[in-house]
Structure 1
Amino acid sequence: MATTLSIQSNQNLDTFILIWLDSLVNISEDNIDTKKILRKAITYVVSFDDTEKCLEFIRSHSQEKIVLIVSGRLGQILVPRAHQFSQLIAVYVYCSDKKRNEQWAKDFIKIKGVIVDLNDLIKRIKLDHMKRNEYNIDESLPITFFHKNPQNKQFLIKNNDNFIYFQLIIDCLSLIKPTLNEKNKLILFCKEKYKDNKNELNIISEFEENYSSNRAIWWLTRESFVLPMLNKAFQTININLLYNFNFLISDIRKQLIENKYQAPIRTYRTQLMSSQEIKLLKYYIGEYVSINTFFITIPNRKHAIEMFKDSDTDSGLKRVLFEIDADPQLENMKPFSDITSLNYSTGVEIIIFMAGTIFHPVDICQENDITIIQMDACSDNDSNIKTIIDNIKGEDYGATPDVFSLGYILAKMKKFDDAEKFYNRLLVELPDDHRSVVSCYKGFARIAMEKEDYDLSIQRYQKAFNMEQSVLKPDDPGIASGYSTIADVYVKKCAFTEALQLYNQALKIWIRALGNDHLKVAVCYKNIARIFEMQSKYNEAIDYYEKVVAIYEKNSTVNQADLAKLHNHIASIYTFIDDKNHILKHYKLALKIFSKIYSINHPDVIGALKNIGHTHEAAGNLSQALAHYEKIASIHRELLPSNHPEINEIQLDINRIKSQIK
């Protein structure tokens, strides 16, 4: 059990990896001693005496920046095969015959030197790495992407999921109340990780003795273990490590809020990026991106561009300047602040954005050899994003996120092993009280359900439910939630009789405790309707869906798009009983709502018009069908190129109707 509490010691938590490939690397005493010295510059050092194993390691670490030391003989074999990988940023050929190896090395721009003296090798690697660390412009920038209309494209859906999950994670980490335990665990881990680096150990000891919440940003901007390790934890979604950094993340957020910028600003970020990263950002022009770290920028454009002066583009990375407009008056926007007075380097003007800040890419253009990416900072309230986040949260996430919410997110991400380890960690670390144990068993049950082990899931939910029944009154809404959760698993098992029985028990409690028009009652009606629909009992399903509509219409907090989609769904059920009047009624209600909340060219408005057109066509109302198809065509022609597939598709519908009218 104790092993679940620590972060894996062999896991690289730095941005950079130093690889040494030499047939004698693990035999020569000089080489072994040199590795210890080099760890003071780049902590994570890996050695190989086999070319194929080394190549596979480089290939499999695409998220890191790799610096390679290689012998002349093995370099001639490896470098031509590894040079293409963007993660390989620098190569040093360490050999005894400088002249001969310079002949082949000159063809590879990533080779920084052919060196014969060991001391010269160490000095060169340290100097180059110091330059890289000066502004950190070639460190990978963790970004996730969100597309408003993924259209069932799997890579867009996956990107959307990653975007949303990070928003939930940073939400949790910002709001969970930190404890001293997390800080102590982080310090113990760092001491073990940097045990061969005296300079870093001194900084860790200083951090342990002197850290305070009002110096969180000071520590973030200091050259130390803090920012690289935190960046890597963000990039890899290392929940154990992020949880240990919880106190720092929370303190930084508080400082940003306390020192919140008061006026609109334009600020800049210098970055080296791969062509593929730039291409992806171009694809998301007009959409959303989340910068998943504390985003450090400067408001002086000239100073930002000067940072490129000594930047190394031999690695194949391109110079990128982010041009960011941010307005602090936007409601519910993640905080950003001028941290000049809080920064470790006094006198340097810096604007820093909270980790997970959402941006809207506006344009990408070229200015000499620099790619300019223009972005606007966005509110978290954007309806395209907020609706999906609220839907994903569900009941198990909680109205206010807590430490258990992190396990819930891991399970939603299908990181089941990480989720189980995290819940086990919580069982050990948290007080042995009722709530902690119940929440952990619910977490284990959720993981089993996501793994489709429904019997185990029911067993674990039942265990948690039994604990709740021992302390809650029989008519407590929490008991209703327990019934409903177990019923959800029975539905997945297609055990509809058991599910209906439990939903009805939950329904009685919720109506009695919360009233007939509460949204929890609506959710229960919806679940019951879904079962009847799966059983092909369409009239019963419609009755219950209509009850949901009635509650939604009385509740001002309901998202109107959800109400419109419900009308669409009811219309689709009426198709099974061929009731065209009711089909049209609900499609028209959906169109009316969509038209109020969206522009006329929104996919949901177009879809509603198309549904009405198809229904009229099926009923023989050809003139009505034609009118709706022509309206869609008119909208498409204003916005889409003439050869767009959707224009061709709707024209086929129009031609088909016209041929029948003739």
Structure 2
Amino acid sequence: NLETFSLIWLDNNVNKTEFNLKSQKKLRESINYLRTFENADDSVSYITEIKTEKVVLIISGNLGREYVPVLHDLPQLAAIYVLCAQKAFNEQWAKNYKKPLDRVNGVFIDTDELVRKLSIDQTEREKLENDATIPLSFYNRSVQSSTSLNDLFMWFQVFIDVLLRMEHPETGREKLLGLCRKLYDGNLSETAILDQFETNYQSEMAIWWYTRGSCHSRILDKALRIQDLEILFYFHFFIADLYEQLKQDQKRFLDTSHDTNLYVYRCHVMSTKEFNQIKENVGEFLSINSFLSTSKNKTVALEFVKRYCSSVDLQPVLFQIEINTLLETKPYSDISHLSYSGGENKILIMLGTIFQIVNVTFDKEYQVWTVQLTMLSENDDEFKDLFDNYTKDMGAVNVGSLGSLLQEMDELDKAEIMYRKHLEIDPVEGAASYTNLGDLNNSRGRYDEALEILNIALNIQQNSSSDNHLAIATTFHNMGDAYQGKKEYKQALENYEQALTKYNTSSLPMNHPNIIEVKASISKVNDLMT
């Protein structure tokens, strides 16, 4: 499921009547991802294992009495609808689960009535979830720069930079459409929107499409929230179009604005753990890793807190953002005239925009925490130095080198996605990614897979006209590691020696870590063979 919400229908007869099957099609127009279960234990297991989605559950009265108490308090459960034959009887037990979380949204004897109510509720749920979910990352200058939080902050900044600089061929749109058509097959309302997207989409309408609330924005927002790199690559042209349209419209907005300092607001409900991170990082940098919709009207922003369900583990937060309109920043603009729904005073801020956390105070009048942020200039000297220092050892900043950074951070699954995307973009120049994939498989103990991939890399490198002794040496080195992992020590020794020969003919100094490491491996293998 590439969206935030999943719909689960648990009933012994859910797939046994023509009426229920037709109802499933109607339900998918509200929540596309629908799973049906006839076995209660299977559904409970499925729901409890969900980590990155919100679940809306339809359950029969008989099963509800037994399983609602089991599922009700799960954080991934957003709502419950009881479909039964005895409304009054089931309302008696259901009312015990309405407060404080209000997750039982109704007891129904008419399926069509349930479908209508769920559709209305889902529109509000998605708006609340979108307002409540803002992916954040932090950079704390007072701690060692190689901490995982600082690494993740910097890595995502580089990733967005690479994504925006990638070529955006027409095939990108076709690939996204192909993905969406597969996911929404049988969903008549979304299929109609996809038809419109295929026929009418233009780069200068990117904001209109993003604010439409169709599958494009829902999938993109979730992918940004959980950093699903594979899906984000499908959207690279769309992200680039949004960036360019915001950048162009920012010029119009600033030409018509007479304020040196612009203040915008966004309410957010966050976990106590995430809120504590903000308090611990006052004075430090914060990156908002999604497109951020804000309002120039503080009162409008505060309305969100009133509508959101209270919880002891959630903190209501008002972001008060100060923007110096004279500084060169990531793009932002008043998109009221560009958005699908119109409206006034809507300021959309580019994803990955960096802010400095100025202060955190509690507003007793509105019972909300106020986090004061200032938008950072793209030319901020201190941050530019941090960024340059982070990327100085990357060589060419591209998809492949981003994979290497992820591998160093032990994010192996994400690193593999980056390496394979590098090979897809440029199979020849991306040959180093074959070597890196081999190294990655070595670290996973998949030595046969590593050798298969490394042989591809070696073939490309040896047939290249460029002087690439270092690249070949690295491949031989990794092949030696693979054979050592397989305990085939003779082959390991042969590859280590080939690696050392190539290292010696490269420009590396004799005390380079790679040379020291391969000499140590040769010594170790010789000991193992005696």
Counterpart in the other structure of 1:435: 429
* Structure 1 position 308, deviation (Å): 4.2
**Counterpart check, 1:129 vs 2:118:** no
Partner-residue secondary structure (3-state), 2:80 = strand
Larger proportion of strand: 2
RMSD (Å) for aligned C-alpha atoms: 3.9
Q: Give the counterpart of 1:101 among 68, 76, 90.
A: 90
Q: Give the counterpart of 1:237 among 227, 233, 243.
A: 227
Partner-residue secondary structure (3-state), 2:217 = helix
Q: Give the counterpart of 2:369 among 368, 371, 386.
A: 371
1:267 touches 1:297 (CA, 8 Å); kept in 2? Answer: yes
> d(CA) in 2 for partners of 1:346 and 1:387?
40
Q: Give the counterpart of 2:81 among 85, 92, 96.
A: 92
Higher relative contact order (CA 8 A, sep 6+): 2
The amino acid that maps onto 2:161 is D
Please give the per-residue CA displacement for 1:249-282, whole angstroms capped at 9, x wherever unaligned. Answer: 1111122222336544221113333444434433
**Counterpart check, 1:323 vs 2:314:** no
Relative to structure 2, which stretch is displaced further, 84-93 or 204-213?
84-93
**Counterpart check, 1:228 vs 2:218:** yes
1:503 touches 1:528 (CA, 8 Å); kept in 2? Answer: no
* Structure 1 position 498, deviation (Å): 6.7
Partner-residue secondary structure (3-state), 1:27 = coil
Count of paired positions: 496
Q: How does 1:404-553 map to 2 (within 5 A)?
A: 404-405=400-401, 407-408=403-404, 411-412=407-408, 414=410, 416=412, 420=416, 434-436=428-430, 438-448=431-441, 450-451=443-444, 464=457, 467-468=460-461, 470-474=463-467, 479=468, 481-482=470-471, 485-486=474-475, 501-507=501-507, 524=509, 527=512, 531=516
Partner-residue secondary structure (3-state), 2:51 = coil
Q: How does 1:230-629 map to 2 (within 5 A)?
A: 230-260=220-250, 262=254, 263-313=260-310, 318-327=315-324, 333-367=329-363, 368-379=366-377, 393=391, 398-401=395-398, 403-405=399-401, 407-408=403-404, 411-412=407-408, 414=410, 416=412, 420=416, 434-436=428-430, 438-448=431-441, 450-451=443-444, 464=457, 467-468=460-461, 470-474=463-467, 479=468, 481-482=470-471, 485-486=474-475, 501-507=501-507, 524=509, 527=512, 531=516
2:500 touches 2:515 (CA, 8 Å); kept in 1? Answer: no
* Structure 1 position 186, deviation (Å): 0.8
Partner-residue secondary structure (3-state), 1:56 = helix
> d(CA) in 2 for partners of 1:390 and 1:413?
18
* Structure 1 position 354, deviation (Å): 1.7
Distance change (3 Å), C-alpha of 1:528 and 1:201: closer
* Structure 1 position 128, deviation (Å): 1.0
Counterpart in the other structure of 1:195: 185
* Structure 1 position 378, deviation (Å): 3.1
> d(CA) in 1 for partners of 2:455 and 2:272?
52
* Structure 1 position 295, deviation (Å): 1.2
> d(CA) in 2 for partners of 1:34 and 1:319?
37
2:357 touches 2:373 (CA, 8 Å); kept in 1? Answer: yes
* Structure 1 position 526, deviation (Å): 6.2
Distance change (3 Å), C-alpha of 1:426 and 1:205: farther
Counterpart in the other structure of 1:566: none
Q: Give the counterpart of 1:66 among 36, 55, 73.
A: 55
> d(CA) in 1 for partners of 2:74 and 2:356?
30
Distance change (3 Å), C-alpha of 1:422 and 1:489: closer
> d(CA) in 1 for partners of 2:414 and 2:198?
28
Counterpart in the other structure of 1:548: none
> d(CA) in 2 for partners of 1:310 and 1:351?
21
Q: Which has the larger radius of gyration?
A: 1
> d(CA) in 2 for partners of 1:329 and 1:166?
26
> d(CA) in 2 for partners of 1:456 and 1:285?
47
The amino acid that maps onto 1:336 is Y
* Structure 1 position 500, deviation (Å): 5.9
- Normalising to structure 1: TM-score of the pair? 0.65
Distance change (3 Å), C-alpha of 1:83 and 1:365: farther
Distance change (3 Å), C-alpha of 1:526 and 1:393: farther
Counterpart in the other structure of 1:637: none
> d(CA) in 1 for partners of 2:71 and 2:147?
32
- Normalising to structure 2: TM-score of the pair? 0.80
* Structure 1 position 455, deviation (Å): 9.5
* Structure 1 position 204, deviation (Å): 1.0
> d(CA) in 2 for partners of 1:377 and 1:200?
36
**Counterpart check, 1:112 vs 2:105:** yes
> d(CA) in 1 for partners of 2:64 and 2:285?
42
Please give the per-residue CA displacement for 1:318-357, whole angstroms capped at 9, x wherever unaligned. Answer: 54322222335556x4332332333223343222222122
Larger proportion of helix: 1
2:435 touches 2:478 (CA, 8 Å); kept in 1? Answer: no
> d(CA) in 1 for partners of 2:112 and 2:466?
74
* Structure 1 position 485, deviation (Å): 3.9
The amino acid that maps onto 1:506 is S
Percent identity of equivalent pairs = 33
2:148 touches 2:409 (CA, 8 Å); kept in 1? Answer: no
Distance change (3 Å), C-alpha of 1:37 and 1:410: farther
The amino acid that maps onto 2:56 is V
> d(CA) in 2 for partners of 1:491 and 1:159?
34
Distance change (3 Å), C-alpha of 1:161 and 1:423: closer
> d(CA) in 2 for partners of 1:149 and 1:439?
35
Please give the per-residue CA displacement for 1:418-476, whole angstroms capped at 9, x wherever unaligned. Answer: 6556655765x6576x435x2442343342354467898688567545534544354xx
**Counterpart check, 1:37 vs 2:26:** yes
The amino acid that maps onto 2:362 is Q
Distance change (3 Å), C-alpha of 1:55 and 1:352: same
Unaligned runs of at least 5 residues, structure 2: 255-259, 485-491, 521-530
1:291 touches 1:356 (CA, 8 Å); kept in 2? Answer: yes
2:435 touches 2:474 (CA, 8 Å); kept in 1? Answer: no
Distance change (3 Å), C-alpha of 1:170 and 1:104: same
Distance change (3 Å), C-alpha of 1:370 and 1:70: farther
* Structure 1 position 160, deviation (Å): 3.6
Distance change (3 Å), C-alpha of 1:463 and 1:74: closer
